Amino acid sequence: MTRTIKLAVIPGDGIGPEVIEQANRVLDAALAGGEVALDRTEFKLGADRFLETGDTLPEAEQAAIAEHDAILFGAVGGVPGDPRLKNANIERGLLLKLRFDFEHYANVRPCTLFPGVESTLKQPGDVDFVVVREGTEGPYAGNGGRLRPGTPAEVATEVSVNTAFGIERVVRYAFETAQSRPRKKLTWVHKTNVLVHAGATWQRIVQTVAAEYPEIAVDYMHVDAATIFMVQDPSRFDVIVTDNLFGDILTDLAGAIGGGIGLAASGNINPDGTFPSMFEPVHGSAPDIAGQQKADPTAAILSAALMLDHLGLTADGDRVRAAVRADLATRGAATRPTAEIGDAVIAQLPQRG
Ligand SMILES: NC(=O)c1ccc[n+]([C@@H]2O[C@H](COP(=O)([O-])OP(=O)(O)OC[C@H]3O[C@@H](n4cnc5c(N)ncnc54)[C@H](O)[C@@H]3O)[C@@H](O)[C@H]2O)c1
Ligand SMILES: CC(C)[C@H](C(=O)O)[C@@H](O)C(=O)O
C-alpha cells in the first residue's frame, strides 16, 4: 500500500529555488518504484514575496504549512542592505517564526568530510561530528530594544532567553544522539566564564541529564576555545550541544571545515512530532551567485536525506547519502552547474533493495 507524505516546500529567495529544484528531483528519483508518494504543496514566501505583496508569513499559510508531515526549505533573504527590505525582517518574521512556533528545538547540523572533498583545513583528520543547536531560545528569542535611536545617548539591549525546560529538552536530544553513535561522546559548549547565569543553568542541566547516561563521555568547552579546537583538531568532536547563537556561528565554521557551505545540511527537528520538522541547507540565499546555476545543491540534497531519515525512510536517506558520497568522490576541483550536480547525484543512486 502506498504511503503518502504531505510535503510543504518553501523554496524562498536567491539560490533557494535553484537548490530545492535539485533536491526535489533527487527525492523523486530516490522514492521512484517504492511505496512512498510525495504530495507537495509549494509556498512562495520570502523577500521576493514580501516585495510583491508585503506579506511575510500570513497566518492562514502558517496554519496550512502546519498540516504537512515535513517542510523542505531553501533559503530566504534579499540582498543585504536593500533599502526596500529595511523593515521586512524576513529572517525573524518567517524562518525564525517557523522554528519557534513549530518547536524546532533541536537544530541538527552534521559535519562530515566526505572522501574526495577538500577541507579548508590543511590537515583535517577525521571529521565526523554533529552539532545539536538549541533552536527556540537564546538571544534569538529575547526581546530588546533601542532607546533614543540615532542620538549619542542611544541604548540597545538584546535579551537572551534560557529556560530550564528549553535547555533540558535539547540536552536530552543531544544525549540520545550521542547514544546512537559509536563514539559515545558529548561536548557541551557555552561561555560560562562570562554568561554566568545562563551558563549555570546549562551546567546544572547537563550534569543532571549526564547522570542518566553513564556510558557517554561528557566534556565542556568555552565557545571561543571550541573554535580553536574545531580548526586544529576537529576529530575531537562527536556530538556538540550548544545554545542558539553559538550554534549558528559554530556551524558555519563547521561548514567550511566539511568542504564548504554548499555541502552543509540541517534539520530543524520537532522531536515530539507536534509540528512538522523543517529541513534546509545551512547556507543563505547567496544573492552574489543567484540565477547563475553556480550554487551547489548538495547541502539541500543532504537536507532532504535528513528529512527521509526523520520520516522513517532511513534506507532511502542512506541511498541519497551514498549517491552524494559517490558524486563527491569523483567530482574533483571543477565546478559544475547546479542542475548537473543534481543529474550526477541521481545517476549515482544505488538500486533500491
Ligand atoms: N536559512 C536561511 O534562509 C539563511 C541562512 C543564512 C543567511 N540567510 C540570508 O541570506 C542572505 C545572504 O546571506 P549571506 O551572504 O550572509 O550568506 P550566504 O550563505 O547566502 O552566502 C555566503 C557565501 O557562501 C556562498 N554560498 C552560499 N551557499 C552556497 C552554495 N549552495 N553553493 C555555493 N556557494 C554558496 C555565497 O555565494 C556567499 O559567497 C541574507 O539575507 C541572509 O540573512 C538566510
Ligand atoms: C538567517 C538566520 C536567521 C539563520 C540563523 O541565524 O539561524 C541562519 O544563519 C542559519 O544558520 O540558519
- What is the end-to-end Cα distance of the chain in Å, rounded? 17
> Would you say 265 and 26 are in contact if contact means Cβ atoms under 8 Å apart?
no
Whole-angstrom CA distances from 186 to 38, 165, 167, 194, 210 are: 36, 20, 15, 22, 10
Report CA(283)–ligand 1 centroid distance (Å).
5
What is the average per-residue pLDDT within 17-25? Answer: 98
Dump pLDDT digits (tens) for 67-118: 999 999 999 999 888 999 988 889 999 999 999 999 999 999 999 999 999 9
Dump pLDDT digits (tens) for 338-353: 999 999 999 999 998 7
Cβ(131) – ligand 2 distance below 6 Å: no
Report CA(212)–ligand 2 centroid distance (Å).
32
Task: For residue 96, give the ligand 2 atom closest to its CA.
Answer: 3
Q: Is the pLDDT of residue 1 over 70?
A: no
Dump pLDDT digits (tens) for 116-127: 999 999 999 999
Angle (nearest 5°) at CA 231 between 73 and 317: 35
Dump pLDDT digits (tens) for 259-286: 999 999 999 999 999 999 999 999 999 9
Examine domains 1-107+262-353 and 119-143+155-258 and report if their fold is the same: yes
Assigned architecture for domain 119-143+155-258: 3-Layer(aba) Sandwich (3.40)
What is the average per-residue pLDDT within 274-302? Answer: 97
Q: For position 74, what pLDDT does the model report?
A: 98
Looking at the annotation, which residues are catalytic?
Answer: 140, 191, 224, 248, 252
> Would you say 287 and 78 are in contact if contact means Cβ atoms under 8 Å apart?
yes
Cα–Cα distance between 202 and 191 in angstroms, integer?
10
| Class of the CATH-defined domain 1-107+262-353 | alpha beta
Cα–Cα distance between 263 and 277 in angstroms, integer?
20
Can you give the residue ranges of every domain in the chain?
A: 1-107+262-353, 119-143+155-258
Cβ(198) – ligand 2 distance below 6 Å: no
DSSP state of 140: T
Predicted TM-score of the model (pTM): 0.97
What residue ranges line ligand 1, CB within 6 angstroms? 15, 19, 75-78, 80, 91, 95, 261-262, 280, 283-289, 295-296, 299
